[in-house]
Amino acid sequence: GCAVNAQDWWGCTPLHLACEANHQELVEILVQAGAQLELRDFDGQTPLHSACMGGR
């Protein structure tokens, strides 16, 4: 398996990045694999915030 909740230097998870890029299929895969929906990055943003800031 992979670490679906791993965070980068800014605290972003793969789910944050997939949401910001509007990659719906990847979002579904990550959620099904156990990605946490409420993890916040270092700015306090959740993946939902990332989706909104990505213009989606």
Q: What pLDDT score does 44 carry?
A: 96
Extract the tokens encoding 55.
Answer: 């213009």
Q: Name the percent of the chain in helix, strand, coil, to the closest 5.
A: 40, 0, 60
Q: What pLDDT score does 55 carry?
A: 56
Class of domain 14-53: mainly alpha
Where along the chain do its domains lie? 14-53
Local confidence pLDDT in tens for the 56 residues of the chain: 789 999 999 999 999 999 999 999 999 999 999 999 999 999 999 999 988 987 55
Q: What pLDDT score does 53 carry?
A: 85
Q: What pLDDT score does 19 carry?
A: 94
Extract the tokens encoding 42.
Answer: 């270092």
Q: What pLDDT score does 54 carry?
A: 78
What is the pTM (predicted TM-score) of this model? 0.90
